[in-house]
A and B are shown apart, each in its own frame.
Chain A
Amino acid sequence: MNTFVLGLIVLAYLISLTYLGFKGYRKSSTDKDYLLAGGEIHPFVMAVSYGATFISSSAIIGFGGVAANFGMGLIWLTFLNMFVGVVVAFLFFGRKTRRIGHHLNAHTFPEFLGKSYNSKAIQVFAGAVIFIAMPLYAAVVLKGGAVFIEKIFEIDYNIALFLFALVIAAYVIAGGLRGVMYTDALQGTIMFASMIFLLIWTYKTIGMGFGEANVHLSEMASEVPDKLKAIGHMGWTSMPEAGSPWWYTLVTSLILGVGIGVLAQPQLVVRFMTVKSTKELNRAVLIGCVFILATTGIIFTVGAVSNIFFMQTEGQIAINAVNDLDKIIPEYIKASMPGWFAAIFMLTILSASMSTLSSQFHAMGTSIGRDVISTISKKQRNNTRITRGGVAFAIIISYIICYTLSIGVIARGTAIFFGICAATFLPAYFCSLYWKKTTAKAAFWSMISGFSASLFALLFMHAKESQALGISQFIFGKPVLFDKMPWPVLDPMVISLPVSIIVIVVLTLLSNNSNERNKNVLA
């Protein structure tokens, strides 16, 4: 594809984003507009925005590469993304969150928690946790997007990073959540369409159907390299050996960590409060599940099947043909798809990055602006202006992280954030919806203990983070405190989430005071 056509496609894309961002800006005059998109978003926009925010470029490029290397075990993640991330999230969490959120007039996730428990401390702490932990997650996506632009357009990384951050900053700061969700809907639609094409063209290229390709892939199990066999790889259509290092990583980090972690993501929870009634959430279940199937379901399947393509064309499996996990999907697209699709796929990756980033920036900005500064401050100020300032500040912090932290730390940003969110927020969030007796004190200490346990597991136990951060090495002279299996490969959430659950249950049962919460709204 020549640079001129590529330039035209990107220009058309940027003009569309500008239009949607401006549309969001024109309709954002109140706090509710800026923070909750007015509370009357169309179910299609809500569901696609939720999915596009959830599925970042790393889910497509990174996890697609993991599927190419390790096979179809990742389909469990697609199932959890759909069942937990959409069905359970929308029907069991979303409906009540929307209803209670509207009653309480909550505009953000921390505000929802704070008002549910009638505690400003909870709101401020939740806002602070999001503002501290999320920039690392945003930096992963920001850096990934900038590297992608650098390679596609062959421009300097620093310029790519600056322009990428600037474009997103423009429509998030101006358009608020309306701007974010309108652009998400466009980006999600591009992702959906290109994934469907990718699936159809893949099976056409290898000349097999779904079942036939799976049989062929099963027969290729003998091609698994010895170093992968050693960590539990048993073929691309088989689960890894139970108890092996790869099995622990797949089951605890990828499947449980990411699959369950989605339930307490502030930037996703806030979307439940953007729709007018339960009807929109019912419709969104259908749209959301189909979207997740079309994105992660397809990329995980195509990733594994790409081994057949590389074997047919180069006589070797994907990882041997490409050598870099993150380059398998881009190389596969380049080698197997029509030329014009490479440009569309480039937009798909940009869309996946931008839809995730815009929501992260918005969530961080509202956390520091509305939940921390406006809540602590006693003076009456213009909240929307403070929130806009918060968003701008959050973007600058994420931008700086891209330059200051090591690649090893940034690469773990997604898992770190998911783990911290689940352990800190999930028990308090669940109890705010379903356990009326929960006291503010129990919720607050559950959040503190979940956050602390997460930090401890990340800094001293889980090898991938503790080695990258180096604090355990500095203090104790060894990369992890417990080097006996499975501790170094056990996801931090498996340790920290039970801690926060136990704290909230025990403190609530020990407390006789059930009047701490505003029970009027917990119907």
Chain B
Amino acid sequence: MFGISDPGIYLAYLLVFLCVIFAVIYGIINWNKGGNDKEQPLEEDLKWEEEELKIKEDEA
């Protein structure tokens, strides 16, 4: 394959090409996916918790 007889080398090239093909297909299919994150409320919750902790510490 590719003019190379050692499977140890042509397998590496084959995997490199397959990996690029996967990345291109994956990238195109998911180009616009994953834009709407649902974690925003949780981040606010966390900040709220942190503030709460600070208040408790101050009180102590």
Contact = CB atoms under 8 A, between A and B. Distances in A.
Interface of A: 71-73, 75-76, 78-79, 82-83, 86-87, 95, 99, 102-105, 210-215, 218, 235, 237-239, 277-279, 281-283, 285-290, 293, 297, 520-521, 523
Closest 9 pairs (CB-CB, A-B): A286-B27, A278-B34, A214-B3, A239-B8, A289-B23, A211-B3, A282-B30, A75-B12, A279-B35
Given A99-B37, A279-B34, A521-B42, A286 B4 contact: no
Contact of A237 (B6, B28, B43): B6
Contacts of B2: 210-211, 214
A282 B26 contact: yes
Interface string B21-60: 0111011101111111101001101110100000000000
Nearest to A78: B16
Interface residues of B, number: 34
* Chain B residues touching A, majority SS: helix
A87 B3 CA distance: 28
Nearest to A290: B20
Contacts of B34: 95, 277-279, 281-282
A73 B23 CA distance: 23
Contact of B46 (A95, A103, A210, A283): A103
A238 B8 contact: yes
Given A102-B43, A214-B2, A218-B3, A239 B9 contact: yes
Contacts of B39: 99, 102-103
A239 B5 CA distance: 11
Nearest to A304: B9
Among B5, B15, B23, the most chain A Cβ lie within 10 Å of the Cβ of B23
Nearest to B37: A277
A51 to B, nearest CB: 12
Contacts of A523: 42
Given A103-B43, A239-B9, A282 B27 contact: yes
20 contacts: A72-B12, A75-B12, A75-B16, A78-B16, A87-B22, A99-B39, A102-B43, A103-B39, A103-B46, A210-B2, A211-B2, A218-B4, A239-B8, A239-B9, A277-B35, A279-B30, A290-B23, A290-B24, A293-B20, A520-B49
A78 B14 CA distance: 11
A187 to B, nearest CB: 22
Contacts of B47: 105
Contact of B3 (A71, A210, A520, A521): A210
Given A218-B3, A285-B26, A75 B9 contact: yes
B15 A79 contact: yes
A144 B36 CA distance: 44
A238 B9 CA distance: 6
Nearest to B22: A87
B16 A286 contact: no
Contact of B42 (A210, A278, A282, A520): A520
Contact of A285 (B13, B27, B49): B27
Contacts of B27: 282-283, 285-287
A521 B26 contact: no
Contact of B13 (A75, A95, A286): A75
Given A104-B46, A238-B9, A282-B31, 4 more contacts: A103-B42, A214-B4, A285-B26, A289-B23
B19 A213 contact: no
Contacts of B12: 72-73, 75-76, 78-79
Given A282-B34, A290-B20, A215 B9 contact: no
Contacts of A521: 42, 46
Contacts of A278: 33-35, 37
Contacts of B28: 286
Contacts of A297: 16
